[in-house]
Amino acid sequence: MRELGHWSHAAALVPLVGLFSACVLAQGQGVDTLPGNAERNAQLLVPPGHGTLRQDDITLTLLVGDLQLKVTPLEEWVLRLIAPDTWSRLSSLAAIHQEQVVLRTGMQDPALFLVSFFSRVPGTVFRPEEVQLVNRGRRQRPLLIRPVTAAWGSERLEQEVTQLAVYAFSEGVELEQALTVEYGLEVASGWAEILRRLEVERSRARARAGLGPT
């Protein structure tokens, strides 16, 4: 299931209203009122502005022939651990799309991921619906795919032009557990390393914020 996007370029700026919404969520509300976070995820939050990781540090990457696929979780406790400018961009993107996912699916706690397809070979075909997650022994297909870039629906890549969409999966995805991404017959399984990186960064971010141990 897909919807038409309205962004014409992968680097397009998130609307200011989305950024404002993200800032309200991060600074003006308590942890318990953050939408889309289960209680355990709320406990993992660090104050915004203290992360230093890059987006690629929290992203699973999969190479399939000429196609490069990247999958980035949009869970707030993970995003708080990346550099502030990237956190602002991705957090507001998540806030914008989560509202629509909740309206269309009725789920209060959907798992959102930013998915990108890229190729240096013009005309490379990609199949959005073939992206699957395996978590806690369950294989999940996306319930909803919301394009971010305008040419997403063509399912064909121009040379070195990234196509982006936000994928919504069902409630119950636990990022602290084993997670793999499947596309066709290929599997990306580097999540354990990313989890270790996140744990180290969370301790450092809490220290930067003047907080004690977790």
pLDDT at 38: 59
Q: Average per-residue pLDDT in the chain?
A: 85
Instruction: Tell whether 182 is covered by a domain.
Output: yes
Instruction: Tell whether 94 is covered by a domain.
Output: yes
| DSSP H/E element including 18 | helix 16-23
Minimal CA–CA distance to 115: which of 66, 171, 183?
183
pLDDT at 19: 36
Say how far apart CA 115 and CA 129 lie, in whole Å.
Answer: 11
Backbone angles phi, psi at 139, to 5 degrees: -95, 130
Taking 70 as the threshold, does the pLDDT of residue 24 lie above it?
A: no
Instruction: Tell whether 77 is covered by a domain.
Output: yes
pLDDT (average), residues 177-202: 96
Instruction: Tell whether 160 is covered by a domain.
Output: yes
> Which residue segment(s) compose the domain that 40 sits in?
16-208
With H, G, I as helix, E, B as strand and everything else as coil, classify residue 151.
Answer: helix
Q: Apex CA 16: angle with CA 14 and CA 21, to 5°?
A: 95
Domain count, the chain: 1
Instruction: Tell whether 37 is covered by a domain.
Output: yes
pLDDT at 42: 77
pLDDT at 15: 37
Instruction: Tell whether 6 is covered by a domain.
Output: no
- Confidence class for position 20, pLDDT limits 50, 70, 90: very low
Say how far apart CA 106 and CA 116 lie, in whole Å.
Answer: 25
pLDDT at 116: 98
Instruction: Tell whether 4 is covered by a domain.
Output: no
Query: Within its chain, how far is the Cα of 51 from the centroid?
Result: 16
- Confidence class for position 39, pLDDT limits 50, 70, 90: confident
Instruction: Tell whether 10 is covered by a domain.
Output: no
